[in-house]
Amino acid sequence: MSPSQRDPSRSTIAGAASGYLSNVSNFKIIESTLREGEQFANAFFTTEKKIEIAKALDDFGVEYLELTSPAASTQSYNDCKAIANLGLKAKILTHVRCHMDDAKLAVETGVDGLDVVIGTSSYLREFSHGKDMQYIIDTATEVIQYIKGQGLEVRFSSEDSFRSDIVDLLNLYRAVDKLGVNRVGIADTVGCASPDQVAELVRTLRGIVSCDIECHFHNDTNCAIANAYAALQNGATHVDTSVLGIGERNGIPSLGGFIARMYAADKEYVKSKYNLTKLREIENLVADAVGVSVPFNNPITGYCAFTHKAGIHAKAILNNPSTYEILKPEDFGMTRYVAIGHRLTGWNAVKNRVDQLSLGLSDADCKRITAKIKNLADIRPLSLDDVDKLLRKYGEAMVDDSHHAILDSIDTPDQITHM
């Protein structure tokens, strides 16, 4: 198969996502902007803003929306009820402690399911709730049976899973699986796990439970998306995300970053599930709500995501975008930009701009102008307006054969600006 025939979004490394446990092409997103995201330092969402975000995420196509526990505050309770009654396509979940009072309050709100959690590491058992593993299993049994008796979906998750005793952890998951939970969850609560550790735990867990497996990864060591991908490769089925990754401390996998990773693994599957052109709108909505900017290097929507600068890159991109792009910007409603007003520019990029402006300059002319741009850009970068002005002045001067003189007369970028 020639490079032109091959799907450029797929790795050529054999077995990249083809293991028998892999759910890379069969996963669901539990979108937690309205739960984990509320724990972001800057976050305060009014009811109206929560509804706006919920509707936007539903339009995007996420399968689940996770909301702050109704036990957190009166308004949190009311917000759960309001969003649960919107009639969205996404299932509405709320995140609660493994406690009967919390579970009963959550059921009252009309949500579709409860995400139940309790700390299992020695740190949390000693310094948080102070309970032993038998107490945890007994309480989990009571809470899970109650939720199932209400006909609701239930996930049971340990907290701080990767610092928990593996024997304790597996015994707990085996016990709740027998109770018929829809999902068990693992949580890298402090962001300490590596993809290898994730792969090993999920693979082990997949061998002892029959239910689905949800994963929640914090980004303290910048591994959250890689860990989510490793989890799916080894049998996990559900991944928690938030818009722009907002959450406690450094947050969790960003919705956009996770989508980019999964698109690269199976483009057609991701395109069939999610309304990708809505991503930028959702990120701008949440960024504005929490008072931050979308990062310059944000996957897909950052202003540098599809910007090409180096000359050899620009030439290849202009011939075939797949040479330096694993994501197709048009699939996300984005456009690529080839920067040309800098010292690294190449004449192919300049010629492409000449053609866009219909100036009819020769290759030799483009090479002369490129040399001038490089010289001027050693002083400072040129804006696109500067480059366009230089190209047009050069083209106009060809009428009286003064185009070479025009180039020779320009020694600084400011001269172009004031032409």
Positions marked catalytic: 313
Residue entry with tokens 């038998």:
134
**Contacts (Cβ under 8 Å, ≥6 apart) of 408:** none
DSSP 336-356: -EE--SSTT--HHHHHHHHHH
Q: How far is it, in rounded angstroms, from Cα 66 to Cα 387?
A: 49
DSSP 294: P
Q: What is the CA radius of gyration of the chain?
A: 27
Residue entry with tokens 């700390």:
119
The token pair at 36 is 């984990």
**Contacts (Cβ under 8 Å, ≥6 apart) of 216:** 32, 36, 157, 185, 186, 187, 188, 189, 240, 252
Q: How far is it, in rounded angstroms, from Cα 289 to Cα 45?
A: 7
Torsion angles phi and psi, residue 155, rounded to 5: -115, 135
Torsion angles phi and psi, residue 302, rounded to 5: -65, 150
Residue from 78, 104, 105, 106 nearest 93 by CA = 106
What is the β-pairing status of strands 183-188 and 153-159? parallel
Q: How far is it, in rounded angstroms, from Cα 141 to Cα 138?
A: 5
**Contacts (Cβ under 8 Å, ≥6 apart) of 358:** none
The token pair at 267 is 């483009």
Is residue 254 within 8 Å of residue 245, measured between CB atoms? yes
Is residue 326 within 8 Å of residue 334, measured between CB atoms? no
Q: How far is it, in rounded angstroms, from Cα 184 to Cα 217?
A: 14
The token pair at 346 is 């190449």
Is residue 375 within 8 Å of residue 338, measured between CB atoms? no
Q: How far is it, in rounded angstroms, from Cα 181 to Cα 185?
A: 10
Is residue 157 within 8 Å of residue 185, measured between CB atoms? yes
